[in-house]
A and B are shown apart, each in its own frame.
Chain A
């Protein structure tokens, strides 16, 4: 149990998926202009990443490894993730329309979110067992949401600040992300 707590904390803070592992940067920069969209995207990622992590883990352990087809992993994972996202989208539209209205536009974007695919590959490469895979995928997703929401808060302030012209928009956002990443760097000594 203690191991799982350590795993959770290190996946959220120390190995933060965006700020320390450089994954999922496109949605990180793309959806952080407004707090509402940041929260929507964060929730959608938590939802899909946990599902995708578990399903690809099962696919890998019970199909690819059993059949000796590890070289098909990339193709299999991306197909699983793409169809999962499609399925989740249809499911939410029919069953929970309110949630669909909230997450709607972010769901298709998640297919090409490299954080989701990256976490699935990390779970397999680290050879986690089922519980560890579940905890790790959830905490990585929470780490993504935390980073995104913090970053959105900072960016809303930048909007009212006066930024030199060549630095505007993406450029200042990247420098800010660098500083945010530096603060997360301080967690390194924690575990």
Chain B
């Protein structure tokens, strides 16, 4: 029993880490990873929504009729996204401004609906909580890794919270292609390639 619980948690960190293995929910991954800070903010917001919606879906899984389940899941997710949106607006306004329309767009992040449908609708509350937490942390870490590469090459800095830290020396010429749209696609493609190289299954 304990083993399956750990598995529920750990699989989100490597085996099924959302943006790489499942190739779901790519839009926020590509869009917000210009700076590590944005990646962390987006990751935490998504984790919050993922955990809450997983728990609520698991709680209500016997009540929701299967014909209207997708619609019900969407309403549940949208409610938590609204809560996250209002909280961020109140407490972390600069970050809220930077992430812009990608916060409401957490609603249509396929990872969340995917977990609700594939996992939470069939499993107990505690297991769903662990699954959501694992997936969320995996998602956050991948966002951070992608953002770190892009920010380091594109601006020569790393921004963990509000203040950028200069990493590259003064003679470093920023590789501004990296922080623009094309860089996002290319870096993600190459990271996927490296994951395939390292963890062949």
* A111 / chain B contacts, CB cutoff of 8 Å: 74, 108
Contact of A125 among B25, B101, B110, B181 (CB under 8 A): B101
In chain B between 84 and 113, which residues have their CB closer than 8 angstroms to a CB of chain A? 85-86, 100-101, 104-105, 107-110, 113
List 10 A-B pairs, minimum CB-CB distance, nearest first: A174-B189, A178-B185, A178-B186, A22-B31, A175-B189, A166-B196, A25-B26, A182-B182, A171-B192, A181-B182
- CB < 8 Å neighbour of B188 from A23, A73, A174: A174
The proximity string for A residues 123-137 relative to B, scoring 1 for CB distances below 8 Å and 0 otherwise, is 001000000000000
Task: List B residues 142-201 near A (Cβ within 8 Å).
Answer: 177, 180-186, 188-190, 192-194, 196-197
Beyond contacts A75-B78, A118-B105: 19 other A-B pairs, Cβ-Cβ < 8 A, are A26-B26, A71-B86, A75-B82, A79-B74, A79-B75, A114-B27, A117-B108, A125-B101, A166-B196, A167-B189, A167-B193, A171-B189, A171-B193, A171-B196, A174-B185, A178-B185, A179-B186, A182-B182, A185-B180
Chain A residues proximal to chain B, CB less than 8 Å: 19-26, 29, 71-75, 77-79, 82, 111-114, 117-118, 121-122, 125, 165-168, 170-175, 177-179, 181-182, 185
Cα A177 to Cα B86 in complex, Å, equals: 34
Interfacial residues of chain B within 117-147, with CB under 8 A of chain A in the complex: none
A179 to B196, CA, bound (A): 21
A-B contact pairs, 23 of them (CB 8 A): A20-B181, A22-B184, A23-B105, A24-B27, A25-B26, A25-B30, A26-B23, A29-B26, A74-B81, A74-B107, A75-B78, A75-B79, A82-B71, A112-B110, A112-B113, A166-B196, A170-B189, A171-B192, A174-B188, A175-B186, A178-B182, A181-B181, A181-B185
**Interface residues on chain B, size class:** 35 or more
Q: Which residues of A contact B186 (CB under 8 A)?
A: 174-175, 178-179
A173 to B197, alpha carbons, bound, how many Å?
A: 17
**Chain A CB within 10 Å, residue with most, of B109, B188, B194:** B188
B82, B192, B194: which contacts A72 (Cβ < 8 A)? B82
A117-B107 contact given A78-B74, A166-B197, CB 8 Å threshold: yes
Q: Is B192 in contact with A118, judged by CB distance below 8 angstroms? A: no
Contact A114 B105 (CB under 8 A): yes
Interface presence of B24 (CB below 8 A):
yes
Which residues in window 1-59 of B have CB below 8 A to A? 23-27, 30-31
Q: Looking at the complex, which one of B25, B108, B193 makes contact with A113 (CB distance below 8 Å)?
A: B108
A153 to B188, CA, bound (A): 21
Interface contact A22-B27, CB-CB below 8 Å: yes
Give Cα A29 to B182, complex, Å. 15
Q: Which of A75, A77, A114 contacts B109, CB < 8 Å?
A: A114
In the complex formed, the residue of A with least CB distance to B192 is: A171
Cβ of B99 to closest chain A Cβ, rounded Å: 12
A185 and B182 contacting across the interface, CB-CB below 8 Å: yes
A24 to B74, CA, bound (A): 18
Q: Is A173 touching B189 in the complex (CB atoms < 8 A)? A: yes
- Chain A residues whose C-beta falls within 8 Å of the C-beta of B27 in the assembled complex: 22-26, 114, 118
B152 to A: closest C-beta gap in Å: 18
Q: Which residue in B31, B101, B189 is a CB contact (below 8 Å) of A172?
A: B189
Contact B101 A118, beta carbon cutoff 8 Å: yes
Residues of B within 8 A of A122 (CB): 101
Complex: A2 Cα to B184 Cα, angstroms? 34
B36 to chain A, nearest CB (A): 17
CB of B184 within 8 A of CB of A178, answer: yes
Contacts of B31 in A (CB 8 A): 21-23
